[in-house]
Amino acid sequence: MSKKTKQPPVLFKQTQNIVKKVEAKLGYSMVSYWNSYGGSIVGNDIVAIYEIMQNIGKKDKLLLFVKSGGGNGESALRIIHVLRQYTKHITALIPLECASAATMMVLGANEIQMGALAYLTPVDTSLTHDLSPIDRDNDRVAVSHDELNRVVKLWQQEAKFDSSKNPYEVLYQYIHPLVIGAIDRSDSLSMKLCKEILSYHIMDEEKADRISQCLNSEYPSHSYPITLKEAQKIGLHATELDPEVSELLLELNHLYSEMGQDAITDFDEHNYHNNAILNIMEGQSVQVFYQIDKDWHYLKDERRWTSLNNESGWHKISDNGTDTPNHTRIYIR
């Protein structure tokens, strides 16, 4: 396996050019938070955001560009907490997907500006537990609170004339009771996180509770697209994103997507190497990203892939005034 491995492109100069154009157009500093389809909001992102904000410094107002499919809600709260140490006012810029925990994140913005392709989603909880059911690929399956509630509700409707029937007796054959307990606890956590994030700019506790309740329990699908009209209806301060800014952010997303492409090198049917940039954060003169860089080997007896030679980690690119920016590894655990 000495074959040279493919590398994803790092397009720092091009992305910096767009960041500067957005800042010039709107008059404030901007922070980008972007995930590829393989990335998500995680705890280590907080340190990366801190690196960006240390470079930007304190500002009266900050722009926050978010494109993400979600991740860990507690990390979303901590990211907002870090940003709030540096600014009194956040305007979220949403040109595309801003789902689940990313929706939680932008709840911490004083204003959410949404483009024609933009959407938020509900934040109802799903959980992959160590005792979760296993799918055909031998992976743990995420179980959602809403799915469990609907199963129980349907069961009770069908068995309304026979109170001796208990849905949990059957559910426990497929879903461990500790998983059900963990999901219920996680649902309470989701409500708490939403209200805590909203409290950074909404002092009306009743309004914050109403928005949180709506996002957690009033939609039939976790992926239901909450567009600008719907966001306004549930009480969020959402406005239309300037079309020129939207086009710039779509161009920025295109560059991040090019950086985030899979760079897979196949060695044989049981071995390959994957290089992929998953999470990108950027501000003026600095970019921080997490890159997967490891070999994968298929264990036939166990029907699963295992990683080898893992060199994955965080990278920091910074402008030094020359044609070749500084590129360093940063270590976050």
CATH number, position 251: 3.90.226
Write out the residue range of the structural domain in which residue 168 sits: 126-185
Q: What is the DSSP string of 4-19?
A: PPP-----HHHHHHHH
* Residues 250 and 115 grouped into a single domain: yes
Which of 158, 185, 212 marks a domain boundary? 185
* Residues 103 and 54 grouped into a single domain: yes
Mean pLDDT for the stretch of residues 243-263: 95
* Residues 87 and 229 grouped into a single domain: yes
Residue-level pLDDT at 148: 72
Q: Is residue 22 a part of any domain in this protein?
A: yes
Which of 185, 200, 235 marks a domain boundary? 185
Please check whether residue 64 is in contact with residue 93, taking contact to mean a CB–CB distance below 8 angstroms. Answer: yes
Residue-level pLDDT at 68: 95
* Residues 82 and 163 grouped into a single domain: no
How many angstroms separate the CA atoms of 140 and 134, rounded?
5
* Residues 104 and 40 grouped into a single domain: yes
Residue-level pLDDT at 310: 87
137 pLDDT exceeds 90? no
* Residues 103 and 235 grouped into a single domain: yes
Comparison of pLDDT for 188 and 196, the residue scoring more: 196
Q: Is residue 209 a part of any domain in this protein?
A: no
Residue 328 φ/ψ, nearest 5 degrees: -130, 155
How many angstroms separate the CA atoms of 36 and 89, rounded?
27
Q: Is residue 207 a part of any domain in this protein?
A: no
* Residues 113 and 259 grouped into a single domain: yes
Q: Give 36's contacts (C-beta < 8 A, 6+ positions apart).
A: 256, 257, 260, 276, 277, 278, 279
Please check whether residue 242 is in contact with residue 113, taking contact to mean a CB–CB distance below 8 angstroms. Answer: yes
Q: Is residue 253 a part of any domain in this protein?
A: yes
pTM, full prediction: 0.85
Q: Is residue 220 a part of any domain in this protein?
A: no
* Residues 115 and 140 grouped into a single domain: no
Mean pLDDT for the stretch of residues 107-128: 89
Q: Is residue 201 a part of any domain in this protein?
A: no
* Residues 259 and 116 grouped into a single domain: yes
pLDDT range class, residue 164, cuts 50, 70, 90: low
Comparison of pLDDT for 5 and 229, the residue scoring more: 229
Residue-level pLDDT at 195: 93
Residue-level pLDDT at 78: 95
161 pLDDT exceeds 60? no
Average pLDDT, the chain: 88
pLDDT digits (tens, 9 = 90+) for 292-330: 888 889 998 888 889 888 888 999 999 888 888 999 998
Q: Is residue 39 a part of any domain in this protein?
A: yes
Q: How many structural domains comprise the chain? A: 2
* Residues 83 and 29 grouped into a single domain: yes
* Residues 130 and 105 grouped into a single domain: no
The encoded tokens of residue 156 equal: 């009770």
* Residues 236 and 281 grouped into a single domain: yes
Q: Is residue 4 a part of any domain in this protein?
A: no
